[in-house]
């Protein structure tokens, strides 16, 4: 008879995440162990405590949109389109993150203890976006007085939409995300040059 294959750490985290999100912080460890096909004792031997498992399964990771922002503004794409791309990427990250935060907040860990980090995800994204906007301003791609304030406005609006949508569904965050974010970008940021499609083309010379 072959020995059962060892359960990997990512598999434990994924199973715990699914159970905690479905049942809340009071979910029994037995349900997680059953999902993994191991005993509760074996699960505890691997993770230590239920709180430790919850923390490692649900603790927020750094925002993945930072990888898009780190190289700075690309010269071949409008600032508006690049910002929209990064914000929609961050929206997908937040849609995953917000339910995790709810579970952690209502657990015995408490939100503050569970979310303690060197740089919390919301702060990290604001800092990365501020740097990106500052570089766009210095390269004269956009006109804006305070990159940090614009970053706060964009991130705050996006976080509010994701939180409201999680609490009350689409009726709490009306409108299509991309359309709302694009209008917000246009309200906050003035491009130094008009989009290529909007520039007037020289009139062809007529033969005399």
Rg (the chain; Cα; Å): 23
Q: Which residues have C-beta within 8 Å of that of residue 79, sequence separation ≥ 6?
A: 73, 136, 141, 142, 189, 191
* Mean pLDDT within 117-146: 92
Residues 79 and 95: their CA atoms lie apart, in Å, by 24
CB 156 within 8 A of CB 149: no
Helix (H) or strand (E) holding 45: helix 40-47
d(CA 34, CA 43): 10
Assigned token pair, 20: 């905690």
| Mean of all residue pLDDT scores within the chain | 88
DSSP string, 60-106: PPPPTTHHHHTT---TTS-HHHHHHHHHHHHHHHHHHHHHHHHHHHT
Q: 10 is written with which tokens? A: 């990512």
Query: Where are the chain's structural domains?
Result: 9-58, 66-192
> What gap in Å lies between CA 148 and CA 131, rounded to an integer?
8
In angstroms, the CA 188 to CA 194 distance is 15
Q: What is the mean pLDDT of residues 157-166?
A: 95
> Which stretch of 49-58, 105-114, 158-167 has the lowest confidence by average pLDDT?
105-114
CA dihedral over 99, 102, 108, 111, signed as positive or negative: positive
104: burial class by Cβ within 10 Å (0-12, 13-18, 19+)?
A: buried
Q: How far apart are CA 58 and CA 51, in angstroms?
A: 10
Structure tokens at 147: 């990159």
**What is the Cα–Cα distance from 19 to 31, expressed in whole angstroms?**
7
CATH number of 66-192: 1.10.357
9-58: CATH homologous superfamily?
Answer: Homeodomain-like (1.10.10.60)
Give per-residue pLDDT as tens, 49-64: 999 999 889 988 889 9
Helix axes 50-58, 40-47, angle to 10 degrees: 70
Q: How confident is the model at residue 204 (pLDDT cuts 50, 70, 90)?
A: low
For the ranges 4-18, 94-108, 178-192, the one whose mean pLDDT is highest: 178-192
pLDDT by residue (tens digit) across 8-46?
Answer: 999 999 999 999 999 999 999 999 999 999 999 999 999
What is the model's pTM?
Answer: 0.79
> Mean pLDDT throughout 142-157?
95
């Amino acid at each position: 008879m072959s020995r059962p294959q060892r359960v990997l750490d990512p598999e434990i985290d994924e199973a715990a995440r699914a159970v905690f999100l479905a049942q809340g912080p009071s979910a029994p460890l037995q349900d997680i162990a059953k999902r993994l096909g191991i005993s509760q004792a074996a699960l505890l031997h691997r993770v230590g405590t239920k709180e430790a498992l919850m923390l490692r399964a649900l603790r927020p990771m750094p925002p993945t949109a930072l990888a898009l922002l780190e190289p700075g503004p690309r010269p071949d794409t409008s600032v508006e389109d690049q910002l929209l791309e990064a914000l929609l990427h961050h929206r997908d990250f937040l849609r995953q993150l917000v339910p995790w935060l709810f579970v952690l907040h209502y657990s015995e860990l408490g939100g503050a203890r569970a979310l303690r980090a060197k740089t919390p995800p919301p702060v990290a994204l604001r800092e990365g976006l501020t740097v990106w906007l500052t570089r766009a301003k210095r390269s004269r791609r956009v006109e804006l007085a305070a990159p940090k304030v614009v970053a706060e406005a964009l991130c705050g609006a996006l976080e509010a939409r994701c939180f409201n949508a999680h609490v009350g569904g689409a009726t709490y965050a009306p409108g299509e995300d991309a359309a709302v974010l694009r209008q917000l970008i246009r309200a906050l940021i003035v491009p130094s040059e008009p989009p290529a499609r909007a520039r007037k083309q020289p009139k062809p010379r007529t033969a005399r």
